[in-house]
A and B are shown apart, each in its own frame.
Chain A
């Protein structure tokens, strides 16, 4: 295994794409401004120079067309990576994604494969207002045939994106805008793959389990470290992929601690942590719960443009702390 290198989340995503494109000529990237401009968030800067216009394709402003083209390319043997500039715009790509890409393998009796990866940055925190700040991962989780990945660290971003590109099914890969500049140690090994469906305990603990992913992960970890000093031992579980979900990891952790707090940025109503809550309640872990499950999620409102209101719309470190204290009866 090669060395580790400190790099940003954004560079880890790029590294994963570059490695896979070097490894497999069928892998290519397309999206709005991914070529000459290097992507709206600069993820693909420099890639057009290495791989050329054929493999790093600038597209017209039509998410429906891009995603439809990708589904078609995938079914004919290519392994496209699509970048949708903001996750909010996947709504325009929904028919191609939900009705075509997700269904084809099933409807052709397994004869068709759709190895496409749809990358999209989600979440608020950049002052981009209601139409550019949503966390819509639960929409995709509700569609059988799609896999959904939300990495919370640079290393996970690399390992999971490589797994997504190599997967023969359509994968929605939700990047986190506010994490793009977060740094972390990333393995340089080209075979470093994190299998989809395998979560990770980011911090071991014994008093309470916090399940979280994506943008909320660093916040939860900071709170957990603080609480550790105050004598509360928090276990932080990151499922990393929502579909397929590492249920066993979550259930075992809850059995261990007997208390669980679920945190995500997305709106509370219909959010994916509601699904996790139901899975816990249905499982063996039920008999070990020693307090009601606590959910911390975004407010059920469009994300405000005002920066203070924007910040107040999603769980803060103070709120995460308060939620953990609540489940601990402290």
Chain B
């Protein structure tokens, strides 16, 4: 025990503040550093991992953007049967992983059959301490709104899995993976419903593209568009694969 009362106070305060910081970080959902971007502007962004699985470090992360092919789209809250390219004409390959070994040593993009980027993963090397934040960089290319659309904004929901232990799907738990995903798609990657707030679906991160200027014919408000990935896409794109071999979840 420290016999110097002043040092003892400092040590105790340090421990208390550390506990407070850890408690705060436990509340931090994984989110994008820049959740809103303006049309026509390219942005360097980060996926910000806020904490581990309890006191277990993060060893990897998987990030998926809706591909717009079979995504669920709403316009001002109402279902929309068209395509995301009805609003953002160059949607499909806007996001690019920026190479960085600051947190994890290995990384790559996830692509569709045509080579367009659907998401990315990073992992391996050192692990991210459970009490520290980690920045996973990527770049968002300039989006172009379709000239004749009245969309004022397009929000895409970004699904993220922060992995603490490589397990099969049957091993998913609060100790092995943090799922920042929708809770109502019916996939093994769905975030658990919060019993305290059963109607909330606040798992995924989001990236909102804001219109630079509405056509005058659209009035002053414009329409709010939201895009969720399909269950089929999440099942296909959430896993991490190296040269075609699935690494996570463990097969």
Partners in one complex: no
Task: Using CB atoms and an 8 Å cutoff, list the residues of chain B in contact with chain A.
Answer: none
A interface residues with partner B (beta carbon < 8 Å):
none
